[in-house]
Amino acid sequence: MRWRSPDFWSGLALAALGGYIVVAARGWDYLTPDGPGPGFFPIWYGIVMLVLSLVLVFTSEKGQVADWRGAARAFAVWAAFAASLALMKALGFAISFAALTYFVVAVMYRRPPLVALATAAAIVGAFYLVFPLALGVTLP
């Protein structure tokens, strides 16, 4: 069925974005006394995006499926990455990034906890040595 096709869904999402761009751009001046206004360019690329994404929706093939093997691992790492960013303000770079590294080593690559702990400590330590100490670059 066409609705299972990834092109169908990505096309719909992009059509929504194109529609949003056109609606938002209609709220700004299209032409001003000095020439084209802030709405001029977005309206046109928004319309083109809307048209092309609808082409994608209607030409999406039945039976077409994305290869999602392994995607769970990638999404898990992304979720851990996003969580470590959310915690960064409260816990600081060292703890949140070390936790992310521990997760990648111990959970994603199934290495022993001690190896994961040592890897996390070594990487965070190296970042502190290289950036704030050697280069004067501030860490998050």
Partner 1 sequence: MDIAAGLMHGFAVALAPANLLWCFVGVLLGTVVGILPGLGPPATIAMLLPLTALMNPAGAIIMLAGIYYGAKYGGSTTSILLNVPGESASVVTCIDGYQLARKGRAGAALGIAAIASFIAGTFGVLALMLVAPPLARLALAFSSPEYFALMALGLAMVVLLAGRSLVKALLAMLVGLWLAGIGTDAFTSTSRFTFGRMELLSGIDFVVVAIGVFAIGEVLANMEAREEPRALPVPKGLRNLMPTMQDMRDCRFAFANGSIIGFLIGVLPGAGSTIASFISYGVEKAFSRRRLQFGTGVIEGVAAPEGANNSETGGALVPLLTLGIPGSGTTAILLAALVLWGFKPGPLFISENPSMFWGLVASMYIGNVMLLVLNLPLVPLFAQVLRAPVYVLYPVIIGLSLVGVYSVSGSLFDLGLLAGFGLLGYVMRKLDYPSAPLILGLVLGGAMERALRQSLMMSEGSLTILVARPISAAMLACAALLLLIPFFARLNAWRLRAMEEENK
Q: Which residues of this chain interact with partner 1, rule CB under 8 A?
A: 6-7, 10, 14, 17-18, 21, 24-25, 28-29, 31-32, 34-38, 40-42, 45-46, 48-49, 52-53, 55-56, 59, 66-71, 73-74, 77-78, 81-82, 85, 88-89, 93, 97, 100-101, 104-105, 108-111, 119-120, 123, 127, 131, 135-140
Type of residue numbered 94: A
55 or 133: CB nearest partner 1: 55
Report, in Å, the least distance between residue 7 CB and partner 1. Answer: 8
Give the whole-angstrom CA distance, residue 97 versus residue 80.
Answer: 10
Class of residue 58 by CB neighbours under 10 A (exposed 0-12, middle 13-18, buried 19+)? exposed
Q: How far is CA 100 from the centre of its chain?
A: 17
Report, in Å, the least distance between residue 75 CB and partner 1. Answer: 8
42 or 95: CB nearest partner 1: 42
Report, in Å, the least distance between residue 49 CB and partner 1. Answer: 4
CA distances to 60, 88, 101, 114 from 121, rounded to whole Å, are: 48, 16, 9, 11
Type of residue numbered 32: T
Report, in Å, the least distance between residue 15 CB and partner 1. Answer: 10
User: Considering only CA atoms, which of 18, 57, 124, 24 is closest in space to residue 132?
Assistant: 124
1 or 82: CB nearest partner 1: 82
